[in-house]
Structure 1
Amino acid sequence: MCGCELIRRTCVGLHDLITFLQKSLISVLSYPFETTHNIRAFRLKIPWIVKVTERTHSTEADALRFLHSTGLDLPIPRLVFSCVHRGVTYTVMTRVTGTNMKETLMRGDLADDAVQIIAQEVADVLNKLQTLQQPPADAGKVMMSASGHDLPDPVTFFEERSGPYPSILELWAHCGSFRDLTEMEEYVEPATFDTLNADPIRFVHPDLRTYNVIVKDSHLSGIVDWQDAGWFPSSWQVHTMRWLRYGCDGPWYHFWLKYRFPEEAEAAYVASKTFLIKSPV
């Protein structure tokens, strides 16, 4: 065995040992968080939580690392550190103080006017995300995570992952259950293609439901669960906020029905609904 190979194996062994020790320390210092199976809270009043995810890319750590690198003042957790052990990623982050909005609404602790205030504060965060631009090397790619990889696929009910797609139109062809872009062209009007193609690519939180919105004193405290966030056409965010379902209902849902997103996003949202069988989110 040559010296280089010995060094490589030694480094791999040390890395495996370090990640094992990190994972073991996390297990000892944390406990399951309420009813969420993959979130653990830390003991000893340490204000951290850990998310356990059975994937090694497109993780919460990738998203938080990217978002904090932008310099935007966003109400999101701070990444403490992450490690991978046997194909599982452990993401340790600061715990956002407050209660998830869904629980607060179910208890009747939020009046409709408070919901409006919190929703507008979330809208302000979305406006900040609108300022982010894709790295030049990835320009044009969609359904792409912060790490440059695939994301859960709504066509397969999020049980599989797909992407990145080389263009907005390729993504919509997939979501419309067309075999390819050529088949989509047979059924979709050219004007619809133009509207979809004019929609800018933005960084989107695809599951911005009330249980991922943390509130405190009737104001937004933070937004969590960024692991499936990534680069999408901006109309994707409109779909996420206007699809009636658990966690997106009541006064929250009605706020986003009336809220006006940027003109290109609104136009592409309407255009996409002319051929989609179901919401893409």
Structure 2
Amino acid sequence: MTLQTPVKLPYFCNSAGLPGPLPTPDEIQDASRRHGWGSSGGVCVIRGIFLVKYGVKVTENEGNALLFVEEHLNISAPRLYAMYHDPHSKVLHLVMEYIQGVDMESLWKTLSVEAKSSIASQLRPMFTQIRSINPPPDFIGGVCGGGLPDPVFGTMSPDNNINGPFKTDEEFSSALALALRNNWEQNGRYGWLSGYLSRHVPTALKGYRVTLTHGDLHMRNILVEKVPSFSGSSVTGVGEEGTGQHWSYQVKGIVDWESAGWYPAYWEYASAVARFQSEDDWLESLDTIIKPYPQEASIILLVLQGLQFI
């Protein structure tokens, strides 16, 4: 697998693949006002068929990741219809398919054990497929090349030793250690955790294959829809037992691909665990969706704590 060639901007998909005319600037502006978004950026839905994401933090990596997924994978993810800079504000706009569904985070506590198991069983082959794509040789970085899009590897000014891209997972883990050390120095303090991890992370996290990675495997980025169950096996949520109606939950899409890229195989799991901020049992399901890397997750948790990302 070679790297995805980034599309030239402005990008517009073939009009035959559109569900309707692309949103006009006035439509986007009006929808943004209704959603309370300012000129700095936001997300708005247009006509119930388009989702527009725009702002200073929106990157071409997300648009190119969606194009890569559409071309190489058969999973539920939004289609990219357009990517361009607004001629006046110069802010990047992504016009995507609007996927009807509810984010799993808002539903999780109401779901039965069976419903959670059903959702996990639908996600498992999707992430298996994502991770089965052959990586480009000797490369860890964004979908199309360049540095790593995860904010952990961001710096105020360019620094390839932290931003990447990298050739090996040892360089990748060294970047984590360097980012941690720089963070402590910039804050005028030096703790035992920073020194300890700086010494040991580069050797503790090496020897992993590289995989295509979504980069933000969180419940809020998984959309599901409740549909009547006709299979004879009921998958119900809390409060639905005894109503005579059986429901199942269908995964409608995996969204928010801005951090997608080529990472060491442990990163999807480890970063998801390290960034987990809830008291529910999502991690039990996560263990069945992708291969667990508990030791690596423990290390990344300490790194993100040191970086003050969590």
**TM-score, structure 1 length as denominator?**
0.71
2:169–2:207 Cα contact (<8 Å) kept? no
Deviation at 1:95, TM superposition (A): 1.0
Distance across 2 between alignment mates of 1:245 and 1:116: 19
| 3-state SS of 1:62 partner | helix
Equivalent of 2:303 in 262, 278, 281: 278
Partner residue, 1:11: none
- Structure 1 residues 249 and 79, CA gap change in structure 2 (3 angstroms): farther
- Structure 1 residues 66 and 235, CA gap change in structure 2 (3 angstroms): same
Partner residue, 2:285: 255
1:101–1:215 Cα contact (<8 Å) kept? yes
- Structure 1 residues 131 and 35, CA gap change in structure 2 (3 angstroms): farther
Q: Percent identity?
A: 19
Distance across 2 between alignment mates of 1:33 and 1:133: 43
Distance across 1 between alignment mates of 2:272 and 2:34: 27
Partner residue, 1:51: 53
The unaligned stretches of length 5 or more in structure 1 are 1-14, 16-20
Aligned 1:200-279 pairs, distance under 5 A? 200-217=209-226, 218-243=249-274, 245-246=276-277, 249-256=279-286, 258-259=287-288, 261-262=290-291, 266=293, 270=295, 273=298, 277-279=302-304
Aligned 1:174-193 pairs, distance under 5 A? 174-177=175-178, 187-188=199-200, 193=203
Deviation at 1:113, TM superposition (A): 2.0
Moved more, 170-179 or 225-234: 170-179
1:55–1:87 Cα contact (<8 Å) kept? no
When the two chains are superposed, the root-mean-square deviation of aligned CA atoms in Å is 3.7
Distance across 2 between alignment mates of 1:260 and 1:99: 19
Distance across 1 between alignment mates of 2:299 and 2:32: 47
**Is 2:142 the counterpart of 1:145?**
yes
> How big is each residue's C-alpha offset from its partner over 1:70-121, in whole Å with a ceiling of 9 and x where there is no partner?
1x21100011111113542111111111111112235x2x223211221232
Aligned 1:3-82 pairs, distance under 5 A? 24-25=25-26, 27=28, 30-31=31-32, 38-43=42-47, 45=48, 47-54=49-56, 57-70=59-72, 72-82=73-83
**TM-score, structure 2 length as denominator?**
0.65
Distance across 2 between alignment mates of 1:61 and 1:207: 15
Partner residue, 2:164: 163
Distance across 1 between alignment mates of 2:271 and 2:126: 15
> How big is each residue's C-alpha offset from its partner over 1:21-74, in whole Å with a ceiling of 9 and x where there is no partner?
98725525744685786111103x4x111111325754321110111121x211
Distance across 1 between alignment mates of 2:33 and 2:285: 34
> How big is each residue's C-alpha offset from its partner over 1:209-239, in whole Å with a ceiling of 9 and x where there is no partner?
1111100121211110001111100100111
- Structure 1 residues 220 and 33, CA gap change in structure 2 (3 angstroms): farther
Distance across 2 between alignment mates of 1:238 and 1:220: 19
Partner residue, 1:4: none
The unaligned stretches of length 5 or more in structure 2 are 1-9, 11-21, 183-194, 227-248
2:32–2:42 Cα contact (<8 Å) kept? no
Aligned residues: 241
> How big is each residue's C-alpha offset from its partner over 1:176-202, in whole Å with a ceiling of 9 and x where there is no partner?
34779xx9999449xx84x74431111
